[in-house]
Amino acid sequence: MVISHNLNDVFDVADRVAILHLGRMVAQGRLSAFDRQSVVDYMTTGGSSREVVAPAPNQRRG
């Protein structure tokens, strides 16, 4: 497990990611499903219009 805000490190070593915003997981999945801008969007705003990954389980509504 690596915990980092340095996206160069993350994209170099990770297979999967869990992205937090204000201490809550807002997205998770295979790193290949994300581009750098979508990760930044999730980290800074809690959402991204660039990504089709399902929300984290605690964020689902139904």
Three-class DSSP category at 19: strand
Token pair belonging to 56 = 């984290």
What is the total count of domains within the chain?
1
Residue 8: what are its φ and ψ, rounded to 5°?
-60, -45
Per the structure, the complete domain to which residue 12 belongs is given by 7-55
- Predicted TM-score (pTM) of the model is 0.73
- Residue 14 inside a domain? The answer is yes
The pLDDT assigned to 61 comes to 43
One digit per residue, the tens of pLDDT, for the chain of length 62 reads 889 989 999 999 999 999 999 999 999 999 999 999 999 999 999 998 875 555 555 554 44
- Residue 49 inside a domain? The answer is yes
Closest CA to 44 of 14, 28, 22: 22
- Residue 61 inside a domain? The answer is no
The pLDDT assigned to 58 comes to 59
Closest CA to 59 of 48, 40, 14, 32: 48
The pLDDT assigned to 51 comes to 52
